[in-house]
Amino acid sequence: MDSLLSDHTPGPTIPLPPAIINARAALAEITPTLLRVSDGPALERRWAWRPAERGATEARYGFYRCAEALDRAGIDAERALAEAGVDRPPSSRIVARATVARWELHGVLAALDDEDLDRDPGGGEWTIRQTLAHIVNVQRAYASFTAWWLARRHEPDFPAEVPDGVGGDFPDEASEGVGSLAEIRARLDDAMDTAAGRLGSLGIEELAANARWSGYAVDVGFRLGRWASHLREHTIQVDKTLVMLERPTREVERLVRHIHAAHGRMESVVFALPPSDLGPAAPVIEAAAAEIREVARGAASAASG
């Protein structure tokens, strides 16, 4: 955490709830299992979803069932929080949209490997490594410089820009793209989770504090809302780069993206909430994690014949 974020936001950082950590681990566990499934006839092989019953479906449905389980868990977790009287801070609702976008990006990246990072798409376009370095660096910047603007909210003069020299220990963009794809993705998660842990409990008055973005006068809430759209902007860029690299997307890869997006929707229900606030929502999320583990194993086994 750079000094801008640590010095201008109250601590301690809200930690990730154990239920979310487990759900992420389940997603990470099933992803390579599902990506090993072949397209075509393998997806059409019979899968005994509920062996004790006489129904019949195909292995392809196992992918959709994982997404269904995660979506339903998000719905049920949201209801559980409402029934428990959990009142989410306004800023947590805004940054929750960013975790949906984050997992949509992870869904695109899940099927790639380290060799894809530095392939040149030509025409002066960024490599995937350069795009990811930019994503991580800007995610940090949105959080850290938002914290700086937030700290100025009681000052009488609204600066035209962040003065030179502010954020001297802020990391340079190229450093964010160093390492393997797994390391860069972990760096993105750390940046976003830390930012949400520091800025996820802001109230209405704090969200209305003056700030700037690209020279425009905005408020802190606007800057928090930029997290999601910036991620989506560059997720589209990664997709365009893959087209330029002539790397086709398999059906199985599209299905895995769908599961990641569903995970993001579920996670958004509790993102930036302290573990103590999850209450009855935690078992719902834990049950979904257990179900996708079981479903993925069964569907992948059926697909393999």
DSSP string covering the chain? --HHHHHSS-SSPPPPPHHHHHHHHHHHHHHHHHHTSPSTHHHHSEE-SSTTS---EEHHHHHHHHHHHHHHHHHHHHHHHHHTT----HHHHHHHHHHHHHHHHHHHHTT--HHHHT---STTPPPHHHHHHHHHHHHHHHHHHHHHHHHTTTSSS--SSPPTTTTTTPPPTGGGG-S-HHHHHHHHHHHHHHHHHHHTT--HHHHTSEEEETTEEEEHHHHHHHHHHHHHHHHHHHHHHHHHTT-PPPHHHHHHHHHHHHHHHHHHTTTT--GGGTTTHHHHHHHHHHHHHHHHHHHHHHHT-
Q: What predicted TM-score, i.e. pTM, was given to this entire model?
A: 0.96
State the architecture of 3-303 in CATH terms: Up-down Bundle (1.20)
**What is the pLDDT tens value at each position of the chain, 305 positions in all?**
889 999 999 889 999 999 999 999 999 999 999 999 999 999 999 999 998 898 889 999 999 999 999 999 999 999 999 999 999 999 999 999 999 999 999 999 999 999 999 999 999 999 999 999 999 999 999 999 999 999 988 888 888 889 888 888 899 999 999 999 999 999 999 999 999 999 999 999 999 999 999 999 999 999 999 999 999 999 999 999 999 999 999 999 999 999 999 999 999 999 999 999 999 999 999 999 999 999 999 999 999 98
